[in-house]
Amino acid sequence: MRSLAEQSDSDLGGPVSVLTRQKRDHVKLNGLLDELDRTEPADQDPVLRRIYRLVFPHAFAEEAVLWPVLRRVLPDGEALTLQVEQEHQEVNELVTKLEQLPVDAPDRPATLRRLVEVLREDVRDEEDALFPRLQEKVPPAQLRRLGVAWEAVRRTAPTRAHPVVARRPPGNTVAAVPLSVVDRLRDGVDFASQHGRTKDASALKTASRGLTRFAHAIEHLPIMTRGEDPSTHRTGR
Ligand SMILES: [Fe+2]
Ligand SMILES: [Fe+2]
């Protein structure tokens, strides 16, 4: 069993394979985490937003498309996937906390350090353990089909932290469409308020707050937590 990090794209099943696509995103994430490390705290927000836009759809599509397959094909798939779901849950909770902390808050450095640590651990667990195990069980043609399905979900998945929503189907798949629409609207509004005219800024901030409240209302619908393991459940926010 070889880590994805030690294998070429053709070993992984070619450019369409889910393993190649995963590794490509993980390399991008490592680059962004290094950039974050080199950036002064006051200027870190734009880098963090790029990290969130990469990480949340990526992880959401793993939970919706890939982990159910691992649970089917591996005898210990339940324990293996639960561990990464717990890592994803911690990322969701840390980002939710960070978004509420001012840049000079005393617990911000430790929260950020832990976020970077969990993100790096998640990549290692997937590249060194989960995906090589999947590779042993599944032929390259199926890895390519999974690559197409994972990419389709990734492109339309929510782009923000949602710690209240289930990390498993059916809750997360029901949540995908409404939360994705609201998240992408919020991304657009936030982008406009950062780059637009100052005279529009307060209206855009009001719109962003309204969309945030709407996203929270969707998250708390009971159906969004169906399928959840108790260890990744969070009730409040
Ligand atoms: Fe991944
Ligand atoms: Fe992950």
pLDDT tens, 76-96? 999 999 999 999 999 999 999
One domain, residues 221 and 181:
yes
Say how many Å lie between the CA of residue 64 and the centre of ligand 2. Answer: 12
Say how many Å lie between the CA of residue 163 and the centre of ligand 1. Answer: 18
One domain, residues 153 and 164:
no
Say how many Å lie between the CA of residue 212 and the centre of ligand 2. Answer: 24
Say how many Å lie between the CA of residue 121 and the centre of ligand 1. Answer: 11
The arithmetic mean of pLDDT across residues 225-237, rounded, is 75
Say how many Å lie between the CA of residue 58 and the centre of ligand 1. Answer: 6
pLDDT at 223 over 80: no
One domain, residues 28 and 130:
yes
DSSP E strands in 115-216: the ranges are: none
One domain, residues 25 and 100:
yes
pLDDT of the residue at 18:
98
One domain, residues 231 and 203:
yes
One domain, residues 70 and 45:
yes
Bigger pLDDT: 214 or 125? 125
pLDDT of the residue at 215:
82
Say how many Å lie between the CA of residue 104 and the centre of ligand 1. Answer: 31
Choosing from 127, 157, 187, the residue where a domain stops is 157
One domain, residues 171 and 54:
no
One domain, residues 19 and 77:
yes
One domain, residues 73 and 145:
yes
Amino acid sitting at position 148: V
**pTM for the full predicted model:** 0.90
pLDDT at 197 over 80: no
pLDDT at 157 over 80: yes
Choosing from 107, 137, 157, the residue where a domain stops is 157
Say how many Å lie between the CA of residue 206 and the centre of ligand 2. Answer: 33
Query: What does the alpha-carbon distance between residue 211 and residue 160 come to, in Å, rounded to a whole number?
Result: 12
Say how many Å lie between the CA of residue 210 and the centre of ligand 2. Answer: 30
Say how many Å lie between the CA of residue 44 and the centre of ligand 2. Answer: 22
One domain, residues 139 and 27:
yes
One domain, residues 69 and 148:
yes
Query: What does the alpha-carbon distance between residue 84 and residue 82 come to, in Å, rounded to a whole number?
Result: 6
Choosing from 136, 157, 178, the residue where a domain stops is 157
| Backbone phi, psi, residue 101, to 5° | -95, 130
Say how many Å lie between the CA of residue 209 and the centre of ligand 2. Answer: 28
Say how many Å lie between the CA of residue 56 and the centre of ligand 1. Answer: 10
Say how many Å lie between the CA of residue 224 and the centre of ligand 1. Answer: 22
The arithmetic mean of pLDDT across residues 59-76, rounded, is 96
**Where in the sequence is the domain holding 80, given as residue range(s)?**
1-157
Residues 6+ positions from 16 with CB-CB distance below 8 Å: 144, 147, 148
Say how many Å lie between the CA of residue 25 and the centre of ligand 1. Answer: 7
Ligand found nearest the CA of 87: 2
Q: In the chain, how many domains are there?
A: 2
pLDDT of the residue at 49:
93
The arithmetic mean of pLDDT across residues 48-66, rounded, is 96
Cβ atoms 82, 231 nearer than 8 A: yes
pLDDT > 90 fraction of the chain, expressed in percent and rounded: 68
One domain, residues 67 and 151:
yes
Say how many Å lie between the CA of residue 46 and the centre of ligand 1. Answer: 22
